[in-house]
Amino acid sequence: MDYKETLNLPSTEFSMRANLVKKEPEMLKKWKEMDDYNLVLKSREGKPKFVLHDGPPYANGNIHIGTATNKILKDIVIRYKTMRGYYAPYVPGWDTHGLPIEHRVSVEMGEKIKDMSPVEIRQKCKDFALNFVNIQREQFKRLGVRGDWDNPYLTLDPKYETHILNIFKTLVKNGNVYRGNKPVYWCPTCKTALAEAEVEYHDHSSPSIYVKFKLIGEENTYVVIWTTTPWTLPANVAIAVHPEYDYVKIKVEDEYWIVAEGLLNKFAAETEINYEVVEKYKGKDLEYKKAKHPFIDRESLIVLADYVTLEDGTGCVHTAPGHGAEDYLTGLKYNLPVLSPVNEEGIFTEEAGKYAGLKIWDANKVIIEDLERLGTLIKTQKIEHSYPHCWRCKNPIIFRATPQWFISVDKNNLREKVLEEIKKVEWHPKWGENRITAMVKERPDWTISRQRVWGTPIPAIKCKHCGEVFIDEKVIDNFITIVEKEGTDAWFKLPEKDIIPEDVKCPKCGHNEFEKTYDTLDVWIDSGCSFEAVIRSKGEKFPVDLYLEGDDQHRGWFQSSIFMSVAHTGQAPYKSVVTHGFIKDEHGRKMSKSLGNVIDPKEIVDKYGADILRLWVSSIDFFDNIRVGKNIIQQQVEVYKKIRNTLRFLLGNLSDFTKNDLVEFDKLLPLDKWALGRLQEVISQVTEHYEKYEFSKVYSLINRYCTVELSATYLDILKDRLYVETKDSIYRRSAQTVMFYILDALIKMLAPVLVFTSEEAYQLSPLKEFDTVHLEYWPQVRKEFVDEKLMEEFKILFMVRDDVLKALENARKNDIIGHSLDAKVTLNGVNEQINNVLVKYKDYLEEIFIVSQVEIGEGKVKGEFANVSVEKASGEKCQRCWKYSEETGKDEEYPNTCPRCAAVLKGLRK
């Protein structure tokens, strides 16, 4: 007879071929039909709450690998917390106002936009944003991200806008909002002011020039400045020196030049001059001296400033209060005029004299030529340096003094209050606290006005009589009432009389005739108010448990949220903050279309399935910069196959097993007791990693557990028992019991990451209790399944096993054996403790080593833990189990079988 027909071969119902691309959409359809989001929430009603508040991505394009990674990380957290028994809602949101969207609409509309009214532009922006909300929503859902997708929060929603205005009113009432004419980041391309969070730094080529300013009252004496922005020289009104630095007067041919002593050698090398030092003094000795502007009939005052450094230049800093934040503060100290002869498009105005009409970048060349012609230019060259660029159009920006609305970050000790709240937050990684603390300490007042139409309007009005621009709380209150019904479009549609109450008076002249102004709020105000619009106003848990975003949000959403929340509620809006790094390619380069290294999440999902992308997300140490590329994704495909094969093996060998077949712990075979004890350690470690948001450690541990500890060790050892022993024998049921517990834990531990694969396995498993695995609870560590003494003994057995495997491999290379079952192993431990363990478990060693015969005696080859020798096993090979035995072939009813297999076939082995 064919003895192979009697083997307990596993079922292959859980297909080897994943085919995720086809199966995942089918599961999404099933989850939608069962309304899985609300079903899961209902199952956790009355449980402790865990709230992760979603930072809103911009609705201005398809999702990219960064947004996909962020959403998957959040989904892993929510699913894990839900399985731990928390009521964990997830309300996704979108940032739908602001420059990113208006910029895209402007590009699409082209010249037509010049003939459109603000209301028409706003409608186009709204349509554009809502379209991409719908597109991104479907893309996020395809990634397996579970949330309240039918009820997201949108910053353009009138209800949301009322909360923005209410918080803005709090800031106005507290005196934190003011209007000032001071230099701000300005994008000449987008024609609007920018906040710090809207500025990126990229390499940029600039002219580098050294210029002489003639010192008034001293013959042939000049103060030398250095600048990389020649176009700002028309606004120069001062030269700053450090009060404590040493400055020298040097003789160069028949002139005398003043520079900092600490930069003299570098300056001389760059300008290739010969010089002689004739005088030395402190910077403070130069204060209030005056120099002549090199090409304008104007004096330049020498002032003192601590920010002057000895890194580059001359230690004498060209100062234009209209074009620099530090310059502006110095100007306030010395009562200097604030000149900014540049319009919104970066073109010089009439105030710039002969340069009027020139683009500032074009003016650089003309100004340098004039300096050379006038004999005041010492040296010019090009340098590459880091320079601020607009986050949206990617073009260089400028500092430009212009009337804007600001939030004072120091009024009412707002900055200090924020810094105190930062200390109370748990930051992951730890350095996040230092990062945001440093940024908050150093940040200037917040420029909150934008010269755009798509956004929440700042309800400021202008007096028709005296020109005073101001904000009145009565106007805000009335406008909020209007917005609740009509949205913020009303500001652009309604006449002043419908918005401005009759009793509002100009605080400067007392008149009551006004016109609206049309600046809009910085979008970081919009998103920064989400704690109120989405959480507090709806009675949700506050502060929330977690914010999770990219580490660029330390100066973005994390910061705007805590400033708004502290101003409005007195506390931080979050208890914990988790940040992830930037995503780069496999070589650590920034992703760009020009390099051809952009990874599209849709392409990954369409080719491999969302679970592969999710597995990659779980694999990354996201606290640092993240690398991804085709090779990295392909590696995840291989890892996924190994995990899937483990699940497949477990399912296949449990096809005839139910909970009624579970064997009590005390009756399990020793190897199975060890495996069950090891499982408890794995559950404990995996849980700890999830708790600390260390998903890469979860990935590494489960990957190793599946491939090394299970597939290559425990499950490999079990094959003999599973396939050879009687179906309902203690030998097989003991193994199946532990496999049942392993499958149960493995599916659940994988469920937050491999949402589709775990569901597929769950539906085919004997442990299924709910309609979906995502209603399940987290596996518990069962201490009663851990026999500490046995665990220590098996630690020794597996160390000996490593020595045996090495000896078997050598025997295979020397053609002593083929398969390990061809072998007889003779061994003894290198010490008494190891030998005692071997003797205690001598009846199980053949199974553990996967050999035919084991004898404890004198091994000849010395290993680390045992002396091992390998020889050809004695006897004949059983045609059923392939083990060798001297008793094989002696059974008349079942010839060519060993005594064990004969007993199994006769039904005598239970």
Active-site residue set: 56, 95, 524, 553, 557, 590, 593
Compute CA distances 696 → 220, 620, 658, 690, 854, whole Å: 68, 5, 34, 9, 41
Q: What does the H/E/C string look like for 107-168? A: HHHHHHHHHCCHHHHHHHHHHHHHHHHHHHHHHHHHCCCCCCCCCCEECCCHHHHHHHHHHH
Query: Which residues, including other chains, have CB under 8 Å from residue 99's CB and lie 6 or more apart?
Result: 190, 192, 198, 392, 450, 452, 454, 523
The amino acid occupying position 12 is T
Beta bridge partners, 303, equal 240
CB-CB contact of 330 with 336 (8 Å): yes
CB-CB contact of 130 with 59 (8 Å): yes
204 backbone dihedrals φ, ψ, rounded to 5°: -150, 145
- Alpha carbon of residue 709 to chain centroid: 32
Query: Which residues, including other chains, have CB under 8 Å from residue 549's CB and lie 6 or more apart?
Result: 55, 70, 556, 557, 558, 579, 580
What one-character DSSP code corresponds to residue 533?
Answer: I
- Alpha carbon of residue 335 to chain centroid: 45
CB atoms within 10 A of CB 501: 12
Beta bridge partners, 824, equal 853, 871
Pairwise CA distance, residues 759 & 762, whole Å: 5
CB-CB contact of 847 with 672 (8 Å): no
Pairwise CA distance, residues 855 & 864, whole Å: 18
CB-CB contact of 852 with 823 (8 Å): yes
Residue by residue, DSSP assigns 820-852 as GGGEEEEEEESSHHHHHHHHHTGGGHHHHHT-S
Pairwise CA distance, residues 668 & 672, whole Å: 6
CB-CB contact of 105 with 113 (8 Å): yes
Q: Tell me whether strands 221-227 and 299-304 are parallel, antiparallel or unpaired.
A: unpaired
Pairwise CA distance, residues 850 & 757, whole Å: 31
The tokens for 779 are 């596996």
Length of the chain, in residues:
910
Pairwise CA distance, residues 234 & 685, whole Å: 65
Pairwise CA distance, residues 155 & 456, whole Å: 9
Pairwise CA distance, residues 751 & 764, whole Å: 15
What one-character DSSP code corresponds to residue 14?
Answer: S
Pairwise CA distance, residues 223 & 240, whole Å: 11
Query: Which residues, including other chains, have CB under 8 Å from residue 843's CB and lie 6 or more apart?
Result: none
Beta bridge partners, 583, equal 626
Residue by residue, DSSP assigns 703-731 as HHIIIIIIIIIIHHHHHHHHHHS-TTSHH
Task: Please choose, from the candidates 622, 623, 621, 631, the residue with its C-alpha nearest in 3D space to the C-alpha of residue 585.
Answer: 631
CB-CB contact of 402 with 469 (8 Å): no
Pairwise CA distance, residues 647 & 630, whole Å: 26
